[in-house]
Amino acid sequence: MAHTEVLLVKPVEGLGGEGDQVKVRAGYARNFLLPRKIAVPLTGANRKQVESLKKRRAEREQSELTRAQELAKKLEKTSLAFAVKTGEGGRMFGAITATDIHEKITAAGVELDKRKIHLFTPVKTLGKHEVKIKLHPDVTVEVPFDVVSENPIEPAAPEEKPAEKGAGYERRGDRPDRGERTERRPRRE
């Protein structure tokens, strides 16, 4: 497999940031990185661009960090509450997902990418919960939220155990008659 070295001009998820010299497959560079102007071939003239690209990368990372810290302060001040329909015993119909949390945060006036919300399993119980929001590799915030019932909680009725299939029959011969066939039909020839 042929590989080639390129100089990244823009950050690429899972590959590197601008100013990085990376070794990639030749087809990936030729068909994806170079036509989209994400990278340039690594030549002597392009090596001189490395310093300016690294400086631009440091400025971008610093501005992203400060934006993430400001957003974290806003998120710490927000309080979220979800009113859900419940059935017997306070059991929820449905669940609270990352999409629901994203909609509440957006409604509170905070712009946030949905992919930054890390809710590993949907919330299916009433009470206080927390969701982890990763704004930056160095900035993570935990936002508390409440899930409450919008209708009064009714106590659950005691559950009856369903009879087991075939309960009371010890042997196959003890089962009631199922209308066994006694005569066979003749074959068509």
Contact 40, 34 (CB under 8 A): yes
3-state secondary structure of 98: helix
CATH number of the domain within which 26 lies: 3.40.5.10
User: Model pTM greater than 0.75?
Assistant: no
pLDDT the model gives residue 89: 78
**pLDDT per residue over 22-53, tens digit each?**
999 999 999 999 999 999 888 877 777 777 87
Q: For residue 144, what are the domain limits?
A: 72-149
Within-domain flag for 164 = no
Dihedral of CA atoms 171, 175, 178, 183 in degrees, nearest 10, equals 50
Distance CA 95, CA 85 (A): 10
**Across residues 69-92, what is the average pLDDT?**
86
User: pLDDT for 172-181, tens place per residue?
Assistant: 555 555 556 5
Handedness of CA 108, 150, 118, 100 (dihedral sign): negative
Which tokens is 74 given?
């806003």
106 and 141 assigned to the same domain: yes
Residue-level pLDDT at 26: 92
pLDDT at 166 over 60: no
Residue 117 lies in a domain: yes
Q: Is residue 186 part of a domain?
A: no
* pLDDT attached to residue 20: 85
Q: Alpha-carbon distance 112 to 117, whole Å?
A: 9
Please report the pLDDT score of residue 92 as a whole number: 84
Question: How many domains, the chain?
Answer: 2
